[in-house]
Structure 1
Amino acid sequence: MSNDFADLKGVRVMAVDSDPDSLYLLKVIFEQCGCTDVTTATTAQEALHLLKKSQPHILISELRLADANGYSLVRQIKQQKSIPAIALTASVWQRDRDRAIAAGFCQHLPKPFDYDELISIVVALVGKTA
């Protein structure tokens, strides 16, 4: 992971993925970048519940969740809050990307992903400077 990116100190991240290993990796990455709070959820319902208590600066979600899909999750969240969202997903087809953007995601990043690219996108979306 490159050190060329802005310090993300003070940034609050919510990551949603049915895979605990993916969530752990995202938590480690963002904590190493100095994020103040990295909240994780394994289901859409859990994410919606946690959003009542937290105010993340950015949402990162898989499109394939155990109880719903990331498309409906981001639509529900966007009705309540204005949070930039990244689809970080194994759904890599162009139609998946188009559908993610139409649902309200700002970016679509396929797995496996490049750490530096993810951090760069987060920096751009939360308005940090490099």
Structure 2
Amino acid sequence: MSATARILVVEDDPHIRRLVRAALQRAGHAVSEAASAREGLSLLDIEKPDAVLLDLGLPDRDGIELIQIIRARSAAGVIVISAREDTAEKVAALDLGADDYLTKPFDTEELLARIRTVLRHRQSGEAGQTRIVIGDVEIDLTRRRILRAGTEVHVTPKEYDVLAALARHPDRVISHAQLLRNVWGPAHEQRVDYLRIVVRNLRQKLEPDPAQPRLITNEPGVGYRLRGLE
């Protein structure tokens, strides 16, 4: 990012705050820090950050509860940073509107890459895009067409709907339940087998090596991500 972004770090561990602040400042970002949920929500209104790095284990409130509040009060991107590795926690955070989830301990370069992705999509208004190009794959959301290296690829309606749902939020993990609700309906949100079949078919049609997918990647037990261009 060439322009400075405002990043709010909501984390009760002072050591992690110092580590993250140093990495963000080296990358040219302006940083605000909060050690509690109350302080974080106050700074959210005052600082109007471009992105929020949110710990879940806060002393006064569970960070999961804050995701929807942040979403209702701000257009900031939300990246959860947590020591919790439970798959259900990750799914809950993503379903409530988090853009990404990073598990402690983490590499600061990876964190900066995730932030760049969130900022890029937020600032470009990704929801309004009608044409997504990733490598030699083009997804035309207006015409419901998929091209690979300029040649149209035949996909079934379900395959298209899954790919389109991922393409509207490239680089963001979309949970299995969310994809199933959007494509098959609420009654089928436990049928992960439906989703696996569709993703396998899409990989066969779009990936150079379906056995080593690089376009549609899996977050084990959580969901899928359509890899964009860094």
Same fold (TM over 0.5): yes
Q: Which structure ranks higher in relative contact order (CA pairs < 8 Å, sequence separation ≥ 6)?
A: 1
* Of 21, 29, 34, the match for 1:27: 21
Partner SS state of residue 112, structure 1: coil
Q: Distance in 2 between matches of 1:111 and 1:70?
A: 15
Point out where structure 1 has 5 or more consecutive residues left out of the alignment.
1-5
- Higher radius of gyration, 1 or 2: 2
Contact 2:20–2:108 (Cα < 8 Å) also in 1: no
Partner SS state of residue 65, structure 1: coil
Give the equivalent residue in structure 2 for 1:112.
105
TM-score by length of 1: 0.88
Q: Distance in 2 between matches of 1:125 and 1:85?
A: 8
* Of 87, 94, 104, the match for 2:87: 94
Match of 1:116, as an amino acid? E
Match of 1:52, as an amino acid? D
Match of 2:13, as an amino acid? D
Match of 1:121, as an amino acid? R
Give the equivalent residue in structure 1 for 2:132.
none
- CA deviations on 1:30-70 (whole Å, 9 max, x unpaired) are 001111x2000000100111122111110001111000011
| 2:32 is the counterpart of 1:39 | yes
Identity of aligned residues (%): 25
Q: CA deviation at 1:119?
A: 0.8
Q: Distance in 1 between matches of 2:72 and 2:7?
A: 19
Q: CA deviation at 1:71?
A: 1.1
TM-score by length of 2: 0.51
| 2:13 is the counterpart of 1:14 | no
Match of 1:78, as an amino acid? R
Q: Distance in 1 between matches of 2:20 and 2:108?
A: 9
Structure 1 segments of 4 or more deviating over 3 A? Answer: none
- CA deviations on 1:83-102 (whole Å, 9 max, x unpaired) are 11001110111111101111
Match of 2:34, as an amino acid? A
Match of 1:15, as an amino acid? V
- CA deviations on 1:3-30 (whole Å, 9 max, x unpaired) are xxx55x4111000011111111111110
